[in-house]
């Protein structure tokens, strides 16, 4: 028995799939295929399963990076685009679904502690914060804990153990396909007064612990994470390398697209295009259907593009006319969707094609 | 900003379009885009009405 297996069994009895973080190695990037993007103040999903928040839109540039420690090929990089000292809260989060975390029994007397481990690197050394929010049935509880990056621009391995929240939080009784916990790398929170108390569960949402680095005050500063693992127990086991196809399927429960995996959305390409031939109906609509590779967490938000990359449209061609029209979903479910567009002529042979993406993120 | 989408096959509004990216959001309480839409509605906003030929 390997050391990893022994540690994992001791921690949670899960030899495999002990890591509750998906895409912890930051390899899968369906939306941007490695291209950089900037944050919005409402939060923006980039690398699969990871969402970046920033109070100020455009504050951060996020990218799948090839800067990585030994044993990894990618990380998630965050660069401060424009420095600010005013209310510059910024964070990278991953929400964990109830279906994948209920075994922790949080909010009960038998709640399990968890240990998070990760590789981190920043251009600014100092104290940073990691944060967990538990969506308890009685109240949401928050836990913030510090860690220290001792040398700038140097990869460092961190492990942090987080106790189970108190029973007062209440057992998780929400639908299991909703968020059980929010895990957060706090990047910056200057312009606000620190209200976090280290290593204590509280019903008050913490922004940071006093004395922590506010990275957004440093234009051009960089922050990288990879090898992120969150598991039951008080011991960090070695990072769980799942097979690529398995990790991709885990991501596709939350996001899937017709484009090839490393082709960005809205790219002009025929590869992966749905393309069907048939007749319009009596209303002049032509109808298509997509079966998702992986059933979604919830009925997904659908997006469509023409093969040339025009958003919201799908392309049709029929005898005497062609063009593009709004692609409208119908009978949308977790496993499939229909869609249609109007061609302007009833009962004529037509072709319909386009690209799609389905999002059911937490 | 949002706009209702009328489904000719179900003869009712079945989706909400998020106008900045043309994404179509289902009325599923577990869909977080729908939850964001509900928060937007709670602030007193109203979506653009659907066009019935959609």
3-state SS, B1-54, equals: CEEEEEECCCCEEEEEEECCCCEEEECCCCCHHHHHHHHHHHCCCCCECCCCCC
Q: What is the CA radius of gyration of chain A?
A: 23
Domain ranges of chain A: 3-252, 274-359
ipTM: 0.96
In the predicted structure, residue A294 carries a pLDDT above the cut 50:
yes
A220, A226, A232, A235 alpha-carbon torsion, rounded to 10°: -100
Maximal CA-CA distance, chain B: 31
Residue A325's closest chain B neighbor by CA?
A: B54
Average pLDDT for residues A42-54, to the nearest whole number? 94
Considering the entire predicted model, what is its pTM?
Answer: 0.94
- Alpha-carbon distance values, A245 to A114, A195, A252 (Å): 26, 42, 10
Predicted pLDDT at A12: 52
Strands A222-232 and A313-318: unpaired
In the predicted structure, residue A11 carries a pLDDT above the cut 70:
no
In the predicted structure, residue B54 carries a pLDDT above the cut 70:
no
State the smallest CA–CA distance between residue B18 and chain A in angstroms.
Answer: 10
Contacts of residue B22 in chain A, CB cutoff 8 Å? 303-304, 311-312
Strands B2-7 and A255-257: unpaired
* pLDDT tens per residue across span A203-257: 999 999 999 999 988 999 999 999 999 999 999 999 999 999 999 999 999 999 9
* pLDDT tens per residue across span A152-199: 999 999 999 999 999 999 999 999 999 999 999 999 887 778 889 999
Predicted pLDDT at A10: 52
In this complex, do A328 and B30 lie within 8 Å of one another by their Cβ atoms?
no
CATH code for the domain defined by A3-252? 2.60.120.260
The two structure tokens encoding residue A50: 């990871």
> Using 50, 70 and 90 to split pLDDT, how confident is the model at A112?
very high
The two structure tokens encoding residue B11: 């003869």
Distance separating alpha carbons of residues A52 and A84, to the nearest angstrom: 17
Predicted pLDDT at B50: 94
In this complex, do B24 and A360 lie within 8 Å of one another by their Cβ atoms?
no
* A99 in reach of chain B (CB within 8 A): no
Predicted pLDDT at A1: 43
The backbone torsions φ and ψ at residue A6, rounded to the nearest 5 degrees and listed phi first, read: -60, -45
Average pLDDT for residues A290-297, to the nearest whole number? 97
Average pLDDT for residues A57-61, to the nearest whole number? 90
Determine what percent of chain B is predicted with pLDDT higher than 70: 94
CA A327 to chain centre: 26
């Amino acid at each position: 028995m390997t050391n990893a297996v022994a540690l994992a069994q001791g921690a949670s009895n899960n030899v495999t799939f002990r890591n509750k973080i998906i895409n912890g190695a930051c390899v899968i990037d369906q939306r941007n295929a490695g291209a950089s993007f900037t944050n919005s103040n409402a939060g923006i999903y980039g690398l699969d399963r990871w969402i970046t928040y920033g109070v100020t839109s455009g504050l951060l540039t996020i990218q799948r990076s090839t800067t990585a420690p030994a044993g990894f090929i990618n990380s998630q990089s965050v660069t401060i685009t424009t420095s600010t000292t005013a209310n510059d809260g910024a964070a990278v989060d991953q929400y964990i679904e109830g279906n994948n975390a209920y075994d922790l029994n949080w909010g009960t007397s038998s709640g399990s502690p968890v240990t998070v481990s990760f590789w981190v690197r920043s251009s600014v050394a100092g104290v940073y914060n990691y944060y967990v929010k538990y969506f308890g049935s009685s109240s949401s509880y928050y836990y913030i804990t510090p860690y220290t990056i001792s040398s700038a621009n140097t990869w460092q391995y961190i492990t942090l153990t987080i106790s189970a929240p108190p029973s007062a939080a209440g057992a998780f009784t929400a639908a299991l396909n909703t968020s059980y916990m929010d895990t957060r790398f706090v990047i910056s929170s200057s312009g606000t007064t620190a209200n976090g108390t280290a290593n204590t569960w509280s019903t008050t949402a913490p922004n940071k612990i006093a004395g922590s680095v506010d990275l957004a005050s440093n234009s051009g500063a960089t922050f990288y994470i990879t090898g992120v693992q969150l598991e039951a127990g008080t011991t960090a086991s070695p990072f769980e390398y799942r097979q690529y196809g398995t990790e991709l399927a885990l991501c596709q429960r939350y996001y899937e697209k017709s484009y090839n995996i490393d082709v960005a959305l809205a790219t002009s390409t025929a590869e992966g295009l749905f393309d069907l031939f048939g007749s319009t109906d009596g209303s002049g609509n032509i109808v298509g259907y997509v079966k998702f590779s992986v059933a979604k967490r919830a009925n997904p938000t659908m997006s469509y593009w023409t093969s040339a990359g025009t958003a919201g449209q799908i392309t049709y061609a029929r005898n005497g006319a062609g063009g593009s029209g709004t692609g409208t979903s119908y009978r949308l479910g977790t496993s499939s969707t229909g869609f249609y567009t109007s061609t302007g002529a009833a009962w004529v042979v037509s072709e319909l094609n386009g690209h799609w993406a389905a999002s059911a993120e937490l | 900003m949002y706009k209702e989408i009328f489904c000719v096959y179900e003869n009712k509004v079945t989706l909400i379009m998020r106008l900045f990216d043309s994404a179509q959001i289902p009325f599923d309480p577990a869909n977080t885009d729908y939850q964001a839409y509900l928060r937007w509605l709670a602030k007193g906003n109203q979506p653009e009405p659907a066009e019935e030929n959609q």
